[in-house]
Amino acid sequence: MKNILKHAVVCLVLAAAVASCTKETTPERINIQHPDQQSPILRDNAYYQNLRAYKQTKHKLAFGWYGSWTAVGASYQSRLISAPDSMDIISIWSQWHTLTPQQMADKEFVQKTLGTKVTYTIFSDKLPEPFLEIGNGEYTDEAIEAYAKAYCKDSMDKYQYDGIDIDYEPGYGASGPFVGHDNALFTKLINAMSKYVGPKSGTGRLLIIDGVPYAVDRSVVDCFDYGIVQAYASSGYTDLQNRFNNADAKGWKPEQYIFAENFESYWKTGGVNFTDREGNRMPSLYGMATFNPTQGAGAGFGAYHMEYEYGNSAMPYQFMRNAIQMANPAGGWKTPIDVAFSSNQSSNFSFVVEDDGSVTGTMQDKVSLSFSRPVVSGMQLTLGVDNSLVAVYNDENGTEYETVDPSLVKMEPIQCAENQVFSPDATITLDPKSIEKGYYLIPVVISPISDAGYAVKEGSVHYIFVTKVAMDVEIGATTLDGSKIAPTSAWTITCCQGTATSGATGVWNCDSAAQKAAMFDGKLDGNCWYASSASYSWGNGGNFTIDMGEVNDVTGLRWHIYYQDSEPQCTDLTYSEDGNVWYSLSAGVPFTPVLSDNWKWFKFKRTVKARYIRVYVGRVTGHTSMNEAEIYGPAN
């Protein structure tokens, strides 16, 4: 495991050494209730039969590495039978050989009665000494074959394990001849092991790799039942998705991948704070239990040193039990599958009516659906427009959006394949010529599903905001009409972060009256204000407001850049007579003014009366700046 002391494990058959792991502070071994007292469920033969049958069904797997296993002592923490009955796989993370009668009995009960598979973990960074002797110090085929057979056949038969788990961590402190991305020797070892364990062996015994599964050569990916990622302290779904994307690129399937949290460190809290796709916050073990990559349904979730959680004061294995329930709700997978839009983000599209009546801009929105469980079989779903939601939205938000005739909105059906948890994208289009100028809201909903096995999630709506306007800014202008308005001592400028109109400026050198007055002194010198891409600056955009002190007739303005202009796009250009009521000249449509001779040009298509001019700037990726601003009015 990452940052955990390791000792090479060598097979008992050839006088092996014991695998061990240095732990952090061990939780207090409290002798609390026995497993059969942890719930009111009657554990009779029927219960165990149903439990074993459940583990043969399609569901999210619960996995755990189990340390300090002795099967003796006052605390049940040392016994596998203390683990939740619904655990699917437990891998021994301590001495796995030289088992006592108590350990054999403990293991046999969870295997045969509970239907839990028990594996053991080894490190395969290099050949242990006895096998090197077979090859006279070389990594010969004979030596590798002997190593594979000793661990995956002889020891497996002797101790009746259900499989083996290989801890493999290239790039995380592991070293040895077998270690490395696409390592040829390790590929040879996996092919040898696959004769005895894994899906290719036909034995039913598991071949698992943990650590960095995607490091293995693509040719042996299908030799493994599962790859387990030590996603310790994962902050959210984007982290897990990125981890699986690495694996997907090497040929791993979603149904092979398990994400695990570190309960040596986080057993008291169930992990760290985790944010899922819908923005919900939860312990990271819960996030892993409910996460599925966009490529399909994941295999399951797990915890390193799961036995630490036996000491949970509220309930032994409280977080693991809850995670199992979240991943596999009571009632099994017979309850309807919830269907929702995969993202709760809305879309925005703007159409601009040019002076000649032509319209620029297109609308090709992409949406996809998510499923609370994998799709059972191929199906087609359709989308619709629910205009009744426009009035509801307007009432709740104080807006006045108009509706669009649903027949004008073209929506592709969504084709869903078996085992998907995210559908492919479907395209939604609207011809801008089909609507009049205005501000529209299109609420897209999932049409009712006839199959009783599926249910549309309540409140699942995808909003599309559409604007069709004529801009009063002449894009491409490099001159201004009229003449420059002479600045007075009353002129000033104010800068703000983002779209705020007060608070932090996010810029440097625009604080004092003298610094502000320098923007209107007619000098293109080093007296300037500037902003950067930092989050505390204009990394999320910014704006400046020029106050002329009195109302003027205005036909345009230009703004001189002193140093760099990494964000040429303006997101809005507004004006006001009193500072309270504001009007947009660009209709809120982002545009890019021409930068010529370091001047940014804003030519209005009509004369406006204004005291205040405000320019909004998009996200700055480097720097932007100003050392002079000029405002123009009609010629005298």
How does pLDDT run across 300-343, given as a tens digit for each residue? 999 999 999 999 888 999 999 999 999 988 755 567 889 999 88
- Of 626, 609, 499, 496, give the one whose Cα is nearest residue 548: 609
**pLDDT at position 332:** 55
φ and ψ at residue 495, rounded to 5 degrees: -110, 150
**pLDDT at position 1:** 52
Structurally, at CATH architecture level, domain 12-22+43-333 sits in Alpha-Beta Barrel (3.20)
- Indicate if the pLDDT at residue 247 is higher than 50: yes
Distance CA 590, CA 629 (A): 21
- Indicate if the pLDDT at residue 8 is higher than 70: no
Angle between helices 141-149 and 184-193 (to 10 degrees): 40
**pLDDT at position 171:** 83
Distance CA 328, CA 185 (A): 39
pLDDT band at 509 (very low <50, low <70, confident <90, very high): very high
Residue 260's beta-bridge partner residues? 230, 302
Question: For residue 209, what are the contacts with CB-CB under 8 A and spacing of at least 6?
Answer: 165, 166, 168, 216, 224, 226, 227, 228
- Indicate if the pLDDT at residue 9 is higher than 70: no
- Indicate if the pLDDT at residue 210 is higher than 90: yes
Residue 229's beta-bridge partner residues? 211, 259
Share of the chain above pLDDT 90, in %: 78
pLDDT per residue as tens digits for the range 337-355: 899 998 878 999 989 888 8
- Of 269, 273, 260, give the one whose Cα is nearest residue 232: 260
Distance CA 248, CA 374 (A): 18
3-state secondary structure string, 222-286?
Answer: HHCCEEEEECCCCCEHHHHHHHHHHHHCCCCCHHHEEEEEEHHHHCCCCCCEEECCCCCEEEHHH
Q: Where are the beta strands (DSSP E) in 88-223?
A: 89-92, 117-123, 163-168, 206-211
**pLDDT at position 420:** 86
Q: What is the mean pLDDT of residues 110-133?
A: 95
CA distances to 50, 165, 307, 596 from 94, rounded to whole Å, are: 31, 12, 12, 71
**pLDDT at position 25:** 35
Mean pLDDT computed over every residue of the chain:
90
**pLDDT at position 21:** 36
**pLDDT at position 10:** 33
**pLDDT at position 41:** 60
**pLDDT at position 334:** 63
- Indicate if the pLDDT at residue 272 is higher than 70: yes
φ and ψ at residue 443, rounded to 5 degrees: -85, 110
Length of the chain: 636
Q: What is the mean pLDDT of residues 12-20?
A: 33
φ and ψ at residue 563, rounded to 5 degrees: -140, 110
Are residues 272 and 283 in contact, defined by beta-carbon separation less than 8 angstroms? Answer: yes
**pLDDT at position 333:** 56
pLDDT per residue as tens digits for the range 547-577: 999 999 999 999 999 988 887 899 999 999 9
- Start-to-end CA span in the chain (Å): 79
* The amino acid at 131: F
- Of 491, 501, 466, 479, give the one whose Cα is nearest residue 574: 501
Can you give the C-alpha Rg of the chain in angstroms? 33
- Indicate if the pLDDT at residue 285 is higher than 70: yes
- Indicate if the pLDDT at residue 226 is higher than 60: yes
Among the residues of 328-434, which ranges form H helices? 388-397
For CATH 3.20.20.80, the residue range(s) in the chain are 12-22+43-333
For CATH 2.60.40.1740, the residue range(s) in the chain are 339-469
Question: For residue 459, what are the contacts with CB-CB under 8 A and spacing of at least 6?
Answer: none
**pLDDT at position 354:** 83
Query: At 78, is the secondary structure helix, strand, or coil?
Result: helix
* The amino acid at 598: N
CA distances to 43, 62, 80, 106, 226 from 111, rounded to whole Å, are: 16, 15, 10, 9, 19
Structurally, at CATH architecture level, domain 339-469 sits in Sandwich (2.60)
Q: What is the mean pLDDT of residues 577-605?
A: 92
Q: Where are the beta strands (DSSP E) in 587-633?
A: 595-596, 599-617, 623-626, 628-633
What is the edge-to-edge ordering of all strands in the sheet holding 461-469? 359-360, 347-353, 461-469, 438-446, 383-385
Return the CATH superfamily for domain 483-633.
Galactose-binding domain-like (2.60.120.260)
**pLDDT at position 26:** 38
The total of other beta-carbon atoms located within 10 Å of residue 328's CB is 22
- Indicate if the pLDDT at residue 27 is higher than 90: no
Q: What is the mean pLDDT of residues 80-107?
A: 96
- Of 294, 287, 252, 249, give the one whose Cα is nearest residue 271: 287
pLDDT per residue as tens digits for the range 403-459: 999 999 999 999 998 888 899 999 999 999 999 998 899 999 999 999 888 999 999
Distance CA 240, CA 244 (A): 6
CA distances to 506, 542, 562, 567, 569 from 536, rounded to whole Å, are: 6, 11, 21, 16, 20
* The amino acid at 238: T
**pLDDT at position 6:** 36
Residue 575's beta-bridge partner residues? 583, 613
Distance CA 204, CA 119 (A): 12
Among the residues of 15-69, which ranges form H helices? 45-54
**pLDDT at position 95:** 92
